[in-house]
Amino acid sequence: MILNPDSLNHSGIYFNFAIKMATETERKFLVKGEFRHLAVEKISITQAYISKFPDKTIRIRIAGDSAFLTIKSRIENMEFARNEWEFPIPVQDAREMLYICLPGRIYKTRHLIPSGKHTIEVDVFHEKNEGLIIAEIELKAEDEKFEKPEWLGVEVTGNPEYYNANLIK
């Protein structure tokens, strides 16, 4: 969090008016083999969308005992990278905001798996997406090399069928 002294209100509480934008460069794969024994952490996730368009989304996510409001948009002339702003919000606020979201929810369990200098996030989907398992790896650049474990299957990066916003049912 970037704290600006000018953002101190009269009660002495800081308001963060300077959230830095991040670029997310991510590759996605279907999972073809067993991976669960490699996980160092599991997180239950519920998410829904306030807005979803092909080039931008606004999402509410409750992940374990944390919650986030996330805005994503495409970057022109980039294949995998997107702009991403993620703001932590109180879990109770997130639960209330779910009621104003578009119909449908995503329920999944995220497994965090170390792989070389990266962490692969494997999402095991539940309910209406039961049986779907997608692995994501976040990179520093589109051309960055990474270790591809044998349990990663077909790459689905850029395939709209596997965008979380399109899995809302």
162 is annotated as an active-site residue: no
- Confidence at residue 14, expressed as pLDDT on a 0 to 100 scale: 42
Asked if residue 84 has pLDDT above 60, the reply is yes
Asked if residue 3 has pLDDT above 80, the reply is no
Model confidence at 167, pLDDT cuts 50, 70, 90, reads very high
Contact 49, 101 (CB under 8 A): yes
Across the range 72-101, mean pLDDT stands at 90
End-to-end distance of the chain based on CA atoms, in angstroms? 34
> Which superfamily does 23-166 belong to?
Hypothetical Protein Pfu-838710-001 (2.40.320.10)
Sign of the torsion angle spanned by Cα atoms 105, 108, 113, 115: negative
Asked if residue 154 has pLDDT above 90, the reply is yes
Model confidence at 143, pLDDT cuts 50, 70, 90, reads confident
Q: Which of 109, 144, 139 is nearest to 35 (CA)?
A: 109
pLDDT tens per residue across span 108-129: 999 999 999 999 999 999 999 9
- Confidence at residue 12, expressed as pLDDT on a 0 to 100 scale: 44
Sign of the torsion angle spanned by Cα atoms 162, 164, 166, 169: positive
Across the range 117-144, mean pLDDT stands at 94
pLDDT tens per residue across span 5-64: 443 344 444 444 444 457 778 999 999 999 999 999 999 999 999 999 988 999 999 999
Q: Residue 135 — left, alpha, or beta (φ > 0 → left; ψ -120 to 50 → alpha)?
A: beta
pTM, 2 dp: 0.84
- Confidence at residue 23, expressed as pLDDT on a 0 to 100 scale: 78
Residues in contact with 154: Cβ distance below 8 Å, sequence separation at least 6, in sequence order: 29, 30, 32
Catalytic choice (14, 49, 162, 163): 49
- Confidence at residue 47, expressed as pLDDT on a 0 to 100 scale: 97
